[in-house]
Structure 1
């Protein structure tokens, strides 16, 4: 709901076009990622997770900079690059191993129709 509030404010201020209010066409995951990045700007030892729209607007300017640093450092092979923590579900370097499907027989159309 916070994202929708900020979109309404940006549309009413003229920063976004009116069709940005078609939020039913959006997924919530980008909004959640944006707010996760905004919360991470508080610092590791801060317990404050909520912020006002004004505070969010000041943080939103820093998020593209943070994302650029993250993407630059992730693609860097340097020994002394900054390593940001990555959730295990978002890691790309781990090989996919499906141990349960390696020895299973192929599925046929007859199996699907059952």
Structure 2
């Protein structure tokens, strides 16, 4: 039913933008932000249209939402991930976090699960202790964080005394390009302009559908209205 309303190409385009925003390794930070917020505005416009549209007088608004919209967990995921990405960019621009925290493609479940294995490996090969407390885990994670910070910094450091960490040859170029991209581009990102562009892109994706006409009629199509 969702695809009948939006059309399959638009729905697929939205999924592609999610991949660009959170999964593709070489996406620029600005493009990640633009794609993430384009999906947010796309879903907000879609959701607002469902609330205004009269489908069946016998059905409640909640039933219409569940029938014609994505699931609530999926929508919350779209909103939370976009806001989290924006917050991380702001913290990096304010120099409160290092640039490599914006490698969001590493925020997947496999990478998170590997943290536990790496934390256990810090016990050493001669230790028989395989379990540890939450306090021990947090202490080990701090050591892993420091180690990863050193790894990221050494990629662009050409000094003779540079520490060299083993990196698989397939990932060496990707990691170098990602770090350079983050360091040189984040301070130049105009966040408000990127989000405005994302809003206009979402409007463009829905152009020609009844959705925009109904929102314009009710005066809720503006960027400010959709953000309230």
TM-score using structure 2 length: 0.24
More helix by share: 2
TM-score using structure 1 length: 0.43
Instruction: Between the two structures, name the one with larger relative contact order (CA 8 Å, sep ≥ 6).
Output: 2
Higher Cα Rg, which structure: 2
